[in-house]
Amino acid sequence: MTVRILALVGSLRAASHNRQLAEAAVRLAPEGVEVALHEGLASVPFYNEDVDVEGDVPGAAAELRRAVGDADALLLFSPEYNGTIPAVLKNAIDWLSRPFGAGALSGKPVAVVGTAFGQYGGVWAQDEARKAVRIAGAAVADDLTLSIPASVTRFAETHPVDDAEVTARLVEVLAGLAGRVGVAA
């Protein structure tokens, strides 16, 4: 059985270090694990109950829900914007939390990792993301963490996939998250 992990990146920038970290996860997935990077978060409209109507959900939001529903686990890559979670990631969580009590996150194993410019590697944003997905019903893997500080200098000339310390820790997170599949439900 292959464990399917879906990666959501909280930065829309093409050259984002968090996107590069997610690309590294795709390449480094251990045997029996497949990581897919979800594209399209920029197209998901801000959550609004008036447009979240069964049978008429905006296409990008419906696709996000379907992709998360089809995945065995979710790996969030969060930068830190002004000390907290980026709006695009929070918006995705809001769409995935509905319908209340039966959203795509319900019982889904989720880990949160990331990198940021500051000295703490985005831990505040990652903590906020864990809180939000937990409230949305996910089975949060609090012990599977990776916060990489000083991304601007650390990855100035090196892609995360070429950083031995980062890759070793990322593989540990992927293996740990895959191990939660079937346990969280």
Q: What share of the chain is helix, strand, coil (3-state, %, to 5)?
A: 40, 20, 40
pLDDT band at 100 (very low <50, low <70, confident <90, very high): confident
Using the structure block, give the residue that is written with the tokens 């809001």.
94
Residue 185 has pLDDT above 50, yes or no: no
Ranges assigned E (strand) in the chain: 3-9, 33-37, 73-77, 109-115, 139-148
Using the structure block, give the residue that is written with the tokens 């939660």.
180
- The pLDDT of residue 101: 83
Q: What is the mean pLDDT of residues 58-62?
A: 97
Q: Is the peptide bond before 30 cis (omega within 30 degrees of 0)?
A: no
3-class DSSP state for residue 140?
Answer: strand
pLDDT band at 1 (very low <50, low <70, confident <90, very high): confident
- The pLDDT of residue 183: 64
Q: Could you give the percent of the chain with pLDDT greater than 70? A: 98
Backbone angles phi, psi at 19, to 5 degrees: -65, -40
- For the chain, the average pLDDT equals 95
- pTM above the 0.75 mark? yes
Domains and CATH numbers, the chain: 3-180 (3.40.50.360)
Q: What is the mean pLDDT of residues 50-69?
A: 96
